[in-house]
A = this chain, B = another copy of it.
């Protein structure tokens, strides 16, 4: 099987490495506007050959779109325009309603499978790619009823080769749940970094005192705007909804402290502790 990967960054690169390791693929074309990334991916043996857009797509059995969600949404109709019914297209974007809507009336819609691997790091570029990224994490396929059976089967095989556990969801539900589980974490982490940078003018002190607790809470704040602005843009309503709830939860802590209502503060914390039972199942 030949694969064409559009966007040979962290996610595209990690998929490529894993599929090669599993010998699930014979040849990988890399397609990327960023020629530095392409050269790097080639020298890291993430891809076998650089290809231009049309050649790479026409010569691949499976095309994986692994670029920021706004660009992915824009490019998907063009990709579907030039494939035939033996080819399959999948994406890996963190928002799904926008991209499935962008092709809902496309004659080749059934060749597309909307996919989201629940994995990422704050790093980017082909050099951050690692084969073992996805193992044990959730891989979500959205609106499977809109994909052809053979296209769906191919993507299911890919997900299996990534050692992910497969979940099916409709695109709207996906965007709602990821707002809770992923997008809001990034906003709190960005806002926490900005809080500390605003209030703590002594950088040296941050560096010296930063504990593993701080580092883990603020880790996501290293994530780049090129990826995250489009996600927040595409999932604006859900993210705002969760963000409003989050601000109101923070106000409860503020009010408990201001009023020195330490029993209520303990209740808020005990409630938060319930996340342990869910995460450590």
- Each complex incorporates copies of this chain amounting to 2
Which A residues from 177 to 215 make CB contacts under 8 A with B?
A: 177-178, 180-182, 184-200, 202-203, 205-215
Which A residues from 245 to 261 make CB contacts under 8 A with B?
A: 245-247, 249-254, 257-258, 260
Report Cα–Cα, A247/B199, bound state, in Å. 13
Report Cα–Cα, A207/B181, bound state, in Å. 9
User: Shortest Cβ distance from A238 into chain B, in angstroms?
Assistant: 10
Contact indicator A236/B260 (Cβ below 8 Å): yes
Q: Which of A214, A220, A266 has the most CB of B within 10 A?
A: A214
Contact indicator B213/A279 (Cβ below 8 Å): no
Q: Kindly report which residue of chain B lies nearest to residue A217, judged by CB atoms.
A: B185
Is A149 close to B, CB under 8 A? no
Q: Which of A257, A270, A272 has the most CB of B within 10 A?
A: A272
Report Cα–Cα, A215/B182, bound state, in Å. 9
Contact indicator A191/B229 (Cβ below 8 Å): no
Q: Looking at the complex, which one of B137, B189, B208, B215 makes contact with A138 (CB distance below 8 Å)?
A: B208
19 contacts between A and B (CB under 8 A): A119-B211, A138-B211, A167-B209, A181-B210, A181-B211, A184-B195, A186-B213, A194-B268, A197-B271, A218-B275, A221-B276, A222-B276, A225-B273, A232-B257, A236-B257, A236-B260, A240-B257, A244-B254, A247-B250
